[in-house]
Amino acid sequence: MSQYSSIAKAKIKSIADLQQMKQAGQKISSLTAYDASFSALLDQAGVDVLLVGDSLGMVVQGHASTLPVTLQDMIYHTQLVSRARQQAFVIADLPFMSSASPMQAAENAALLIQQGGAQMVKLEGARCAAIEFMVQQAIPVCAHLGLLPQSIYQLGKYAVQGKQEDDAAKILADAIKVEQAGAQMLVLECIPAALAQKISEQLSIPVIGIGAGVDCDGQVLVLYDMLDISLGRKPRFSKNYMQQAGSIFEAVQAYVAEVREQKFPAQEHSF
Say how far apart CA 155 and CA 59 lie, in whole Å: 21
SS3 194: helix
Gyration radius of the chain's alpha carbons: 17
Dump pLDDT digits (tens) for 123-163: 999 999 999 999 999 999 999 999 999 998 888 888 999 99
SS3 string of 199-250?
A: HHHHCCCCEEEECCCCCCCEEEECHHHHCCCCCCCCCCCCCCCCCCCCCHHH
Say how far apart CA 80 and CA 23 lie, in whole Å: 31
Put simply, whether the predicted model's pTM sits higher than 0.75 gets the answer: yes
- Above pLDDT 70, what percent of the chain? 97
Is the predicted pLDDT of residue 267 greater than 50, yes or no? yes
Dump pLDDT digits (tens) for 202-239: 999 999 999 999 999 999 999 999 999 998 888 999 99
Is the predicted pLDDT of residue 103 greater than 70, yes or no? yes
Say how far apart CA 195 and CA 136 lie, in whole Å: 30
Query: Residue 132: what residue type?
Result: E
User: For the residues 77-81, what does the mean pLDDT come to?
Assistant: 98
pLDDT at 5: 47
pLDDT at 156: 85
- Residue among 216, 51, 20, 80 at smallest CA distance from 149: 51
Which residue is catalytic, options 124, 179, 189, 258?
189
The better pLDDT of the pair 122, 156 is held by 122
pLDDT at 155: 84
Backbone angles phi, psi at 120, to 5 degrees: -160, 150
pLDDT at 99: 97
**pLDDT-derived band of residue 1, with 50, 70 and 90 as boundaries?**
very low
Residue 265 preceded by cis peptide, ω within 30: yes
Q: Which domains does the chain have, with CATH numbers?
A: 15-269 (3.20.20.60)
Q: Is 132 a catalytic residue?
A: no
Say how far apart CA 4 and CA 157 lie, in whole Å: 40
Say how far apart CA 91 and CA 112 lie, in whole Å: 9
pLDDT at 232: 81
- Residue among 97, 81, 98, 95 at smallest CA distance from 47: 81
Mean pLDDT, all residues of the chain: 95
- C-alpha atoms less than 13 angstroms from C-alpha of 90 in its C-beta half-sphere: 31
Is the predicted pLDDT of residue 9 greater than 80, yes or no? no
Is the predicted pLDDT of residue 7 greater than 90, yes or no? no
